[in-house]
Amino acid sequence: MQRTCPIPISDYPVVTLAHGGGGRLMRMLIEKMFGAAFSNPLLDRMHDSASLTLPGGPTAFTTDSFVVRPLAFPGGNIGELAVYGTVNDLLMAGAEPRYLSCGMILEEGLPMEELWTIVTAMREAADRAGVSIVTGDTKVVDRGKGDGVYINTSGIGSIPAGRSVGPDRIAPGDAVIVNGDLGRHGIAIMAVREGLEFESEITSDCAPLHREVDALFKAGIDVHCMRDCTRGGLASSVIELAGQSGRGIRLDEAVMPVREDVRGACEMLGLDPMYVANEGRFVLFVPGGEADRACECIKAHGPEDAIPVVIGHVEDNTSGEVTLRSRIGADRLLDLLSGEQLPRIC
């Protein structure tokens, strides 16, 4: 793949409305930019739809849109998020991700160089996660009507025969495991967006989860349920699963893995790291007896900086609620927030 932006600065240094107009400029953008970057036999046919031969059996299908500001942040950019986000959603359903679509909504005036950086990052991310981007769409909106780039990706994956993963399988005695430290993505974004400076740069945890998830199944671990901990953080994911499964879940605040710098930033801003966004973390439910093996699997196959921790267990009741044992040993209810966490006055 070429490394420099294929649309010469002298021609069109920025995205113009014409790049979404359906004419020659749009074709040029698609062929030179997206086609060049995502190239594979299915995409190269350039039909309105990609014609796929799906392996027989259950299939997972998901979609996600990405509207992050700033477009690039320490540890990643919107392109990587758009690939990993959808790949991870497929993985959480027990599927092996195969094909992605890519819908681009570009803002008039976006520098081509910037778009190229995003597009190449997407290609590299797709390669890393073992998926192909096989179809796409491009629209351009007036300057001021978008934040540079919005990306939508949809994904298809195949679910191996006999594999069943979901909230309905969460059972009393299950261990609740998180695959690494919490809150890094949200704080990394906030630091750039608000111009906050910390002693060390906090980088996003943005990453695909295919290696560790694959390893769990290969090791024969009876994975009951998985969910990624993106918007709303770990707490929102676990609360959702408690509600969907109708099971009571108990978590232990004292063992929550949060890095010192992230904790410091959260303390300062009045945020609870359990509710801060991640992009490479998921919560895993396995039978209690398999917890140690599951942790070893994740440790061996996940990113180096992600240390898995057992953070709680599923109780033998049908409350559908999450109880948190606080750091000082008292219990409280863990509940969804009304909206985003807001920094407090004092």
Binding stretches for other proteins (CB under 8 A): 194, 196, 254, 260, 263-264, 267, 269, 326-333, 335, 338-339, 342-346
Cα 54 → chain centroid: 24
State the Cα–Cα distance between residues 308 and 322, nearest whole angstrom: 20
- As measured in angstroms, the least distance from the Cβ of 125 to other proteins is 31
- Which one, 48 or 331, has the nearer CB to other proteins? 331
Burial grade of 114 (CB within 10 A; 0-12, 13-18, 19 or more): middle
- As measured in angstroms, the least distance from the Cβ of 251 to other proteins is 13
For residue 173, what are the contacts with CB-CB under 8 A and spacing of at least 6?
287, 288, 313, 314, 316
Could you give the count of Cα atoms lying within 13 Å of 32 in the half-sphere of its Cβ? 18
DSSP-based three-state secondary structure for 114:
helix
- As measured in angstroms, the least distance from the Cβ of 324 to other proteins is 9
- Which one, 218 or 327, has the nearer CB to other proteins? 327
Using the Cα atoms of residue 138, residue 41, residue 87 and residue 309 in order, give the sign of their dihedral. negative
- Which one, 54 or 333, has the nearer CB to other proteins? 333
- As measured in angstroms, the least distance from the Cβ of 344 to other proteins is 5
State the Cα–Cα distance between residues 85 and 207, nearest whole angstrom: 9
- As measured in angstroms, the least distance from the Cβ of 189 to other proteins is 14
- Which one, 127 or 194, has the nearer CB to other proteins? 194
- Which one, 116 or 275, has the nearer CB to other proteins? 275
